[in-house]
Structures are given as structure tokens and as C-alpha cells.
């Protein structure tokens, strides 16, 4: 049976700027909200964990589609730690929301994946656009979804990714609504950070991506409405990996649940 997840309304006090404190709060069940408002000066990542027999093909798929799936870290088979990302990280407990797929079907959305974590799983942490949002804000770009306590919406596009082995499928994008001036600023700035998806794949033209209706987002969440004077700006998204493993119909795959990311100790670039 699938356990529903949602953003928490209130949580006990902890240092929301400290990634270690955030992970501890998640692990203790004290923080259940989306992670785009915490540890803003540190990198966050998408999680995809696949059986070891598929890990090489999945890594090759990520490298063939590097704009959507930049690899920040990879675990050893069955190991729930990735020391290069954080020395106390438990990948099965510290994300705060998981999606468990069996043969491509979503079967469970637990907050703690320890009970379903298999000894042969290899975890990949992939670059996330949450990481460049703090960089954009430092440069004066207004992100209305953050101002309103929301997250960026995602969409499945008509663009095919480059397939590798059993992995393939449509490109998933994230969308932010920006003024034209901020769209230009965000494009130039994000292009400097390929580890966070780089430059947008489209500005102001959802139809160019095969997106017919902004109100129908991938996963059913995020800010989807435009105000006068705003453009929809689309970046390649790490949820592309989730789409690919679902299409591959693996016997087991575990990913993060929407907007509950792996919070690392890697600091964001300062420039």
C-alpha cells in the first residue's frame, strides 16, 4: 500500500542552514518538508538507486544525457553511505521521502527506505536545480515559487533522451516563472554550472518542448501559473532518471520522492 507524503506544516527548531542538522532532523522524522528552503548554501541532489547489475548502464545513460543527469556521487553496491558527499550520510534514511518501484510500478512511498533497501543497490546522486536557485537569488533573480513557499513545477517533454541499455525515455524539465530580464540573467548564470543542469533548454516556448498545458505538471506539484510579464523558463531535470528507470521496469528501484532531495555537505560555488 502506498503511503502518501506531503510537506510538513510545522517542525521542531533546528539549524536549517546546516546540512548535517537537516539530515539529522529528517532521520528523526522531525523535518518532513520539501528541502528547497533548507541548507541553501549546499548542494542537493536527486536520488536513483538501481540493482548493481544495471549500475554501469545507468551511469552510461547519465553520462550520455549529462545536462539532465550530472553525477555528483555514486555508492558501492549495498552501501548506504557516499563519503564524498557527506561523512554521516545514510542514503536510505536521510532523504525524507522515497519512491519504491518494482517492475516499473510505484508500490510504496515511505519516509524511511531502510526496510526495502537491498544489499545490491547502487545509489546515484544527481545534480539538482535546487542548488542553483540559491545562486540565482544571490544574483538578484526573483524566484516567485520560493517567495510563495512552493517548488518549481516539472514537465515531461516530447524530447527523447539518448538511450543506453534498458534506459531511455522522455526528457523531464523543471520550470520557473521569471521576468524577461531575470530570464536572461538566469540563463547566463546557470550556464556556468553544468553540475546543476547548466543553461535552460527553452525560454518562453512550452510548445517547443511538447508541453501543451502548464497546469498539468509531472508529479502534480509546483508553481504552474504565470502572472502578466512572466515567462516560463525550462531547465533539464534530474527526474529524467526516475522516468528512465520506470521505463526500464527494473525488479527494484528506489528514488527520492518529489522535492525531498539528498542534502549534501558540498558547498555551493561562491562566485
Is residue 9's pLDDT more than 50?
Answer: no
Residue 150 near residue 225, CB atoms below 8 Å: no
Is residue 54's pLDDT more than 90?
Answer: yes
The residue count for the chain: 271
Which grid cell is 269? 560555488
DSSP reduced 3-state for 132: helix
Q: What is the pTM of this model?
A: 0.91
Question: Rounded to whole angstroms, how far apart are CA atoms 36 and 131?
Answer: 8
Q: How far apart are the first and last CA of the chain?
A: 46
Q: Which CB contacts under 8 angstroms, 24+ apart, belong to 82-90?
A: 82/123, 82/125, 85/45, 85/125, 85/262, 85/264, 85/265, 85/266, 86/19, 86/20, 86/23, 86/263, 86/264, 86/265, 87/265, 88/20, 88/23, 89/23, 89/262, 89/264, 90/27
Whole-number percent of the chain with pLDDT over 90: 85
Which residue from 148, 145, 137, 147 is spatially nearest to 174, judged by alpha carbons? 145
Quick: pLDDT tens for 110-128.
999 999 999 999 999 999 9
Neighbours of 148 (CB within 10 A): 9
Instruction: Give pLDDT, residue 3.
Output: 40
Quick: pLDDT tens for 68-97.
999 999 999 999 999 999 999 999 999 989
Whole-number percent of the chain with pLDDT over 70: 95
Domains delineated in the chain: 19-128+244-267 (3.40.1640.10), 130-240 (3.30.2040.10)
Which residue from 55, 209, 190 is spatially nearest to 128, judged by alpha carbons? 190
Is residue 10's pLDDT more than 80?
Answer: no
Amino acid at each position: 500500500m502506498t503511503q502518501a507524503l506531503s510537506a510538513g506544516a510545522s517542525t521542531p527548531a533546528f539549524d536549517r542552514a546546516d546540512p548535517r542538522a537537516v539530515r539529522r532532523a529528517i532521520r528523526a522524522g522531525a523535518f518532513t518538508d520539501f528541502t528547497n528552503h533548507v541548507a541553501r548554501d549546499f548542494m542537493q541532489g536527486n536520488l536513483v538507486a538501481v540493482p548493481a547489475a544495471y549500475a554501469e548502464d545507468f551511469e552510461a545513460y547519465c553520462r550520455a544525457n549529462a545536462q539532465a543527469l550530472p553525477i555528483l556521487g555514486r555508492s558501492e553496491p549495498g552501501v548506504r553511505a557516499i563519503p564524498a558527499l557527506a561523512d554521516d550520510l545514510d542514503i536510505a534514511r536521510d532523504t525524507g521521502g522515497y519512491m519504491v518501484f518494482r517492475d516499473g510500478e510505484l508500490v510504496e512511498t515511505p519516509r524511511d527506505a531502510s526496510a526495502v533497501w537491498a544489499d545490491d543497490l547502487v545509489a546515484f546522486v544527481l545534480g539538482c536545480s535546487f542548488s542553483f536557485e540559491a545562486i540565482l537569488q544571490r544574483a538578484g533573480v526573483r524566484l516567485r515559487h520560493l517567495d510563495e513557499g512552493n517548488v518549481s513545477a516539472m514537465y515531461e517533454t516530447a524530447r527523447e533522451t539518448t538511450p543506453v541499455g534498458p534506459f531511455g525515455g522522455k526528457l523531464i524539465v523543471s520550470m520557473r516563472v521569471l521576468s524577461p530580464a531575470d530570464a536572461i540573467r538566469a540563463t547566463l548564470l546557470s550556464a556556468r554550472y553544468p553540475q546543476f543542469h547548466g543553461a535552460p533548454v527553452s525560454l518562453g516556448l512550452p510548445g517547443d518542448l511538447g508541453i501543451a498545458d502548464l497546469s498539468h505538471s509531472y508529479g502534480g506539484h509546483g508553481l504552474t501559473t504565470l502572472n502578466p510579464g512572466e515567462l516560463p523558463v525550462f531547465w533539464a531535470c534530474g527526474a529524467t532518471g526516475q522516468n528512465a528507470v520506470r521505463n526500464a521496469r527494473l525488479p527494484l528501484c528506489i528514488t527520492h520522492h518529489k522535492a525531498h532531495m539528498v542534502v549534501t555537505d558540498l558547498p555551493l560555488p561562491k562566485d
